Structure formats: structure tokens, C-alpha cells
Amino acid sequence: MMDEKAEARMSSAAVSRETGIEFASDTKVVHHDSAAERKAIRKLDYEIIPVMTMFYLLSFLDRANIGNARVAGLQKDLHMTDRQYQICITITFVPYIAAELPSNLLLRKIGPRILMSTVLTIWGIIVMSQGFVKSYAGLATARAFLGLVEGPMFPGIVLYLSGFYTRRELSFRIALFFSAASLSGAFSGLLAAAIQQMDGIGGKPGWAWIFILEGLFSFLMGVAGYFLIPGTPHQSKLLTPQEKDLVMERLERDRPSIQPIDKFTFREVWRSMKSPQVIMVFIMFFLVGTTLYGLALFLPSIVAQLGYSKNRTQLLSVGPFAGGFVVTVLSAIISDRLENRGLVAAAISLLAVAGYAMSLGAKNEFTRYGALYLMVPGVYGAVPALAAWMSNNSEPHYRRAASIAFGFVATNSGGVLSTWRFPTKEGPKFTKTTIMNLVFSIVVVLGCVANTAYLHWRNQQKKRPGYREEVLARFASVSADERERETLAWVELGDRHPDYRYTL
């Protein structure tokens, strides 16, 4: 958290001639009322979280349902080799990664309601089109366009939520929507088991209907999003005018740099890239992304190679993801209560370490299947804390937008690696891949501890006598009143401001 400097909310804008940055000229004091705050936040939860959860559930479902379609006969019917199937998955990630940073930097300008609803509507159409492909080339083309329009969703939601909730509250809200990822794994298996029974209807195989029906629902939800998503707290349909002011006031207390309209510059992107805390979480996101997408895309195939039928495989894929859903939500609640991201993510990642070690030493298929109940929660449960950690420790807006995007670029780069780590000939043990994932999970634990230690050191450094005066000295000569100089310092320094406290 940061020192509580500002109890004033700034309304009408004035522009400093020297800096060109917009400042507020009027002051409006909003007094603390914890009961009113809780009521306002509950309203935001009801208005925002269900929609974001559904958006992300469909994002993960539509990206990962190719694994269920493969079990239902996709690869066989399109006469694809293992290599061609892996290329179809890999090709999704390339434009997906390319779209993440530009879309996050454009989110404020275009507006969340337009951007997120549009990409969901378009990708629903693309998912449906996969049900009509007749060849490997057609599937690969559809997957490339799918990646391009899905890329903005995850980093966009995290950045969007950071404009409604304080840093302390963010991990739980990220967990609520991200839990849709593990929920989609469970739901996908159940849904695929039911939909594949439509095999032959309309002359189409069961796997085609998986794409068509799931894509149709995404299209309809995207259209609904235009009417459901508020762009900012002031656009909320549930909050009263007083509650809108209250929400903005508490955000300004948490992050004073949220109010000024800072302009985009590539300097902020560069500052994000060279921040040690961003670099460390970037590395952890790559490692977690490799293990996460390995489970999301190949868990049905892993279970199938244990010797189960198509339908039983789809149903057995449900349990580990259901466990992941529970652990994801519980870990985020603990993370927010303790106001700690790193040590919670490390503790959860130890479950993954245990799961991969258990799978590596397994002597039969029952133990290997049981290990999935540790792997999935241990991998999925760490992501909300890591995502909130990245958002919590980057300011102002465009630096935070870049940091969040970089995190998910790393995650999806790990996804590219994971697509090549599960060749059929190495199943069902996948020994080399299991060893790699075990090492990656151990490094995540160590990385969380290292980043926590670094951020603690930075917070202690900011408390050093004379440090504040030393850092802020260069703003004393700016020809502006005291409030404008203070605002300029927050915009320019962001998370490096001496009053800013990094979240551990």
C-alpha cells in the first residue's frame, strides 16, 4: 500500500503548461464509510465479475476444446499426423502473443466494452467455422485467426479490473474469473461427452458439433457484452452517484497516479521491461504457462493414453479441473487476506511439485491419474496471485498495461513450448516432459521467494531517512502549485515514487 496522502478527489481538468499533463482543478472530499464502501464493491462484483468470468471461461474453453475434439476424432477424420496437430495448436499462440501488448495499450482509448465484446463476438464466429473445416490447412488457418482475436482478453480483463478494485482486492477478483479456466476444463469434458453424442447429425461428426455449439454461445455472449460492460466506475449502472465518487476516492488513495490522464509513451513500456520485479514475474509466467497449457491442451489425451474409452476419458478429465477451481479461489482469498502474493504462489506451486514428482515415480495408471489432482490445482492456483502481483507493482496506467501484457506474452510463449512436449509415442508416462515440468515448478517456487525478498528490500530502501527528499528534489523546481507537482511526481515516477509500497 502507499501512504494515505490524498483524501481529495479531483474533478474538472486543468493542463500544466510545462508538462502537458492533465490535472484536476477542483477538490471534492469524500469521507470514509467502510459500510458504504463494502456495499459499493459488492455492487461492482455483481455487475462486473460474472460477465468477466463468462468471457474468460469462453476464451479458455474455445482455445482448449481442440483437445476434446481430438479425443472425439478430429485428428483421425482430418488425417493429421501428431506433428500437424501440434502445429495447429502452436499457430494459435503466435498471433495471440503478438496481439496482447498492443491491445492492452489501446484498451483505455477504444474502451473495454467495445474491445472485449468485439473480440468475443468475432472469435465465436471463428470457433464455429472450425466445425466446417475439411483439412489440416483449413483448421490451421482458423486457429491462427482465433489466436489473433483471443489475445486481448486475459491481459485486458486484468487491466480492466485494476481500474475498479484496489491492489489488495485484485487477487480474489482475478481468481474469480480465472477459476473459469479450471472450470472450463471440467465443463469442457462434460460438455464434450454430451455433444459428441450428436455424431452424424446433419452429416457432421461429433467433434464438429463441439466447435459449432460452443462457438455459437461465444458469439451470443459477445453481442450481450455491448450492453453489460461498464467502461469505468462512473459508467456503472448499479452504483449511485455518491457510490461512484466513493469508488474513485478509494482507488486514488490506493494508487494516486490513477486519476491523472497520463499520455502513452514508449518510455513507459521500456520502464516496465527493465523493472526487476516485472522481469522476475515474466520468467515465472513463462514457466507456469508451459505447465498450464500442457494440462489444458493435453490432459484429455494424457487420460486417453491411460487406456480409457472416449466418453470415459472426457468424464475423467473433469475431476482434476474441479479441484483446480476450488484451490484457485481459496488461494486468492488467502492472498488478499494476507496481502501477500509471492509466498502464497510459492506454497500453491509446491502442490505442482508434488504432483509431477508423484507422476514421475508412478508405477501404474491409477497413480498417474491421481497425480493430476495435485498438478492442476498447483499450476492453476498460482496464476491469480502472479497476475495480481504483476498488476500491483507497476504504475502508472501505461506502465501497468505493458507489464500485464508482458506477463501474458510470457505465459503464452510457454504455451508454444508445451504444444511440442506431448508426442503420442512418449505416452502415457511422458517422462521427459514430466521432468521438465517438475523443474519448472521448483523454479517458480524459488522465483516467488526471490521476488518477495527483492520487493521487501525496495520497500525498506524507500523508508531510509532522506530518500523521499532525494527522489522528489527534481520536482521542486517545476512551475506549478504544490498539488500539481505532487501529481506530476506520481505520474512520472509511478511505482518508483517513495510513498509507493510494493506488494510482497
Say whether domain 8-232+256-496 belongs to CATH 3.40.50.300. Answer: no
Measured distance CA(3)–CA(346) in Å, rounded: 28
Measured distance CA(451)–CA(466) in Å, rounded: 25
Q: Among positive and negative, which fits the CA dihedral 149, 150, 155, 158?
A: positive
Chain centroid to Cα 205, Å, comes to 33
Q: Domain residue spans in the chain?
A: 8-232+256-496
Residue 260 is classified by DSSP as S
* 8 Å CB contact between 170 and 391: yes
The SS3 assignment for 472 reads helix
Output the tens digit of pLDDT for each of the chain's 504 residues: 444 333 333 333 333 333 333 333 333 444 456 889 999 999 999 999 999 999 988 988 888 788 889 989 999 999 999 899 989 989 998 999 999 999 999 998 899 999 999 999 999 999 999 999 999 999 999 999 999 999 999 899 999 999 999 988 888 999 888 887 777 767 777 888 899 899 999 999 999 999 999 999 999 999 999 999 999 999 999 999 999 999 988 888 887 766 555 678 899 999 999 999 999 999 999 999 999 999 988 888 888 888 888 788 878 888 999 899 899 999 999 998 998 999 999 999 999 999 999 999 998 889 999 999 999 999 999 999 999 999 999 988 899 999 999 999 999 999 999 988 988 888 888 999 999 999 999 999 999 999 999 999 999 999 999 999 999 988 887 777 777 888 888 888 989 999 999 999
- From the list 159, 160, 154, the residue with the least C-alpha distance to 178 is 154
Partner residues linked to 29 by β-bridges = 8
Measured distance CA(311)–CA(303) in Å, rounded: 11
Measured distance CA(503)–CA(392) in Å, rounded: 6
Residue 107: CB partners within 8 Å, gap ≥ 6? 115, 152, 156, 159, 160, 401
Partner residues linked to 9 by β-bridges = 28
Residue 169: CB partners within 8 Å, gap ≥ 6? 41, 336
Measured distance CA(344)–CA(3) in Å, rounded: 24
Give the C-alpha distances (Å, rounded to integers) separating 164 from 47, 161, 234: 11, 5, 10
In the prediction, which pLDDT does 347 show? 97
Compute the half-sphere exposure of residue 68: CA atoms within 13 Å on the CB side of its CA: 35
Total Cβ atoms within 10 A of residue 326: 13
What predicted TM-score, i.e. pTM, was given to this entire model?
0.82
What the block records as the C-alpha cell of 394 is 507497476
What the block records as the C-alpha cell of 219 is 458469439
Which ranges of 131-166 would DSSP assign to H, the alpha helix? 136-150, 153-161
The SS3 assignment for 27 reads strand
Total Cβ atoms within 10 A of residue 163: 18
Checking phi first, is residue 28 left (phi over 0); if not, alpha (psi -120 to 50) or beta? beta
